[in-house]
């Protein structure tokens, strides 16, 4: 890969399956050089959106672009976008290596590249085993290898962490980071924010087919109410202090959780002479923000 990745664009996109409005007037853009998390609860319309981006599903309205044109209008599309869709499917009777070799000609790569990639994703030992015997994690790795065949400047992965072992998740995280740092466009979907929280630079959040939030991860964190954990020999005094400042308080481990920035809580305690044994910022709880935005409830 030499040039920076193409931007991906979704413009006024809609898709109805009968009465179900799976995607509804959705507009967002994905920039190169960053990892973008495409988030939303199950059934939010992520897979449908990605399928439309890749020309597999025809939109009811709107359009999608990879760079300056729709996916299907690129001469060698798999050289531009490498994609692995949810529950990527393989012929169970084909070996992992043969699966790559089947698609290699149209991607324009050699058998040698297939061999290298299967080693790269950690399936070297299983290259000649039939995919029917692969675990979910191995299938995810094979799907990733398929996506990477053409060394594409843009990568689109649908729930790539599903079924991947913790070690694999860390490996994938590093890989995506490295791709973004090389200037590629990286779009990953997930229904769990925590799964991608440590990987993504930007987030696009949808619920019920509609955009609910698009920003950098930092800006998303800004929406979170900061929490401070406090321990004190005089907890009633802390509670009184919080009441004065109208801060919400919840009991936590051996102290209290205060819904306010730690600097403000510390300053207030200092001014009122309340003795504190611990004052710890719990940071923004992104999961809460995510659930609030998508109308979900914490499990």
Partner 1 sequence: MRNALVAEYRKLVTTRMWWVLLLACAAYLGFIGAVLGFSLVFAPEQQGGVTLHGIDAATAVYSLTNGIGYVFPLVIGSLAMTTEFRHQTITQSLLVEPRRGVYLGAKLLATVPVGLLYGLVAVTAVVAASAPLLAGWGDGAYLTDGGVLQVLALSVVVIAVWAVVGVAFGSVVTNQVAAIVVILAFTQLVEPIARVALGSFAGLDQVAKFLPGAAADGIVGASFFSSYGSGAGELLPRWAALLVLLGYAAALALIGRYTTLRRDVG
Ligand X SMILES: Nc1ncnc2c1ncn2[C@@H]1O[C@H](COP(=O)(O)OP(=O)(O)O)[C@@H](O)[C@H]1O
**Binding site residues, Mg ion, CB under 5 A:** 46-47, 86
Provide the 8-state DSSP code for 132. Answer: G
Closest by CA position to 9, among listed 85, 88, 81, 79 = 81
What would the two tokens of residue 139 be? 């299938």
- Binding part of the chain for partner 1, among 106-114, 206-214, 225-233, 235-243 by CB under 8 A, reads 106-114
Q: What CA–CA distances, in Å, run from 71 to 11, 34, 55, 98, 135?
A: 14, 20, 6, 26, 31
- Binding part of the chain for partner 1, among 102-110, 200-208, 209-217, 274-282 by CB under 8 A, reads 102-110
Closest to partner 1 by CB, 83 vs 203, is: 83
Asked if residue 59 binds ligand X (CB under 6 A), the reply is no
Indicate which of ligand X, partner 1, Mg ion, none lies near residue 45 (CB less than 5 to 8 Å, by partner kind). ligand X
Q: Are strands 185-190 and 255-258 parallel, antiparallel or unpaired?
A: unpaired
Indicate which of Mg ion, ligand X, partner 1, none lies near residue 88 (CB less than 5 to 8 Å, by partner kind). partner 1
Least Å distance, CB 155 to Mg ion, is 17
**Binding residue for partner 1 (CB under 8 A) from 10, 66, 80, 85?**
85
Closest to Mg ion by CB, 49 vs 228, is: 49
- Binding part of the chain for partner 1, among 1-9, 78-86, 118-126, 183-191 by CB under 8 A, reads 78-86
Alpha-carbon distance of 156 to 184, in angstroms, equals: 11
Asked if residue 92 binds partner 1 (CB under 8 A), the reply is yes
Asked if residue 106 binds partner 1 (CB under 8 A), the reply is yes
Least Å distance, CB 90 to partner 1, is 7
Alpha-carbon distance of 243 to 235, in angstroms, equals: 12
Alpha-carbon distance of 278 to 38, in angstroms, equals: 37
Alpha-carbon distance of 153 to 171, in angstroms, equals: 19
Angle, CA of 123, 163 and 168, to the nearest 5°? 50
Asked if residue 83 binds ligand X (CB under 6 A), the reply is no
**Binding residue for partner 1 (CB under 8 A) from 27, 42, 89, 278?**
89
Asked if residue 102 binds partner 1 (CB under 8 A), the reply is yes
Closest to ligand X by CB, 42 vs 135, is: 42
Which parts of 19-110 fold into alpha helices (H)? 46-53, 77-80, 96-107
**Binding residue for ligand X (CB under 6 A) from 42, 89, 106, 110?**
42
Strand order in the sheet with 61-66: 20-30, 8-17, 61-66
Closest by CA position to 57, among listed 22, 89, 20, 91 = 22
Contact positions vs partner 1 (CB under 8 A): 51, 54-58, 71-72, 77-78, 83, 85, 87-95, 98-99, 101-108, 146
**Where on the chain is the footprint of ligand X (CB under 6 A)?**
17, 20, 22, 40, 42-48
């Amino acid at each position: 890969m030499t040039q920076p990745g193409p931007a991906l664009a979704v413009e006024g996109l809609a898709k109805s399956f009968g009465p179900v409005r799976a995607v509804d007037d959705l507009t967002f853009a994905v920039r190169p050089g960053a990892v973008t998390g495409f988030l939303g609860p199950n059934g939010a319309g992520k897979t449908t959106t990605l399928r439309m981006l890749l020309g597999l599903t025809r939109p009811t309205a709107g359009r999608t672009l990879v760079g300056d044109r729709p996916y299907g209008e690129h001469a060698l599309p798999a050289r531009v976008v490498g994609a692995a869709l949810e529950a990527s499917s393989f012929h169970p009777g084909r070996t992992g290596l043969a699966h790559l070799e089947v698609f290699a000609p149209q991607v324009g790569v050699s058998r040698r590249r297939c061999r290298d990639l299967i080693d790269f994703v950690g399936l070297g030992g299983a290259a000649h085993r039939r995919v029917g015997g692969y675990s979910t994690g191995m299938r995810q790795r094979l799907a990733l290898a398929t996506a990477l065949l053409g060394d594409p400047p843009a990568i689109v992965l649908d729930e790539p962490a599903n079924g991947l072992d913790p070690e694999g998740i860390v490996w994938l995280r590093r890989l995506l980071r490295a791709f973004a740092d090389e200037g590629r466009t990286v779009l990953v979907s997930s229904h769990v924010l925590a799964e991608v929280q440590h990987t993504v630079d930007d987030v696009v959040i949808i619920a019920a087919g509609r955009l609910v939030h698009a920003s950098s991860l930092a800006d998303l964190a800004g929406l979170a109410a900061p929490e401070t954990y406090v321990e004190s020999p005089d907890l009633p005094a802390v509670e009184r202090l919080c009441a004065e400042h109208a801060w919400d308080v919840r009991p936590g481990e051996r102290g209290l959780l205060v819904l306010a920035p730690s600097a403000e809580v510390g300053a207030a305690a200092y001014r009122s002479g309340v003795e504190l044994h611990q004052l710890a910022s719990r940071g923004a709880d992104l999961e809460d923000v995510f659930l609030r935005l998508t109308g979900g409830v914490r499990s």
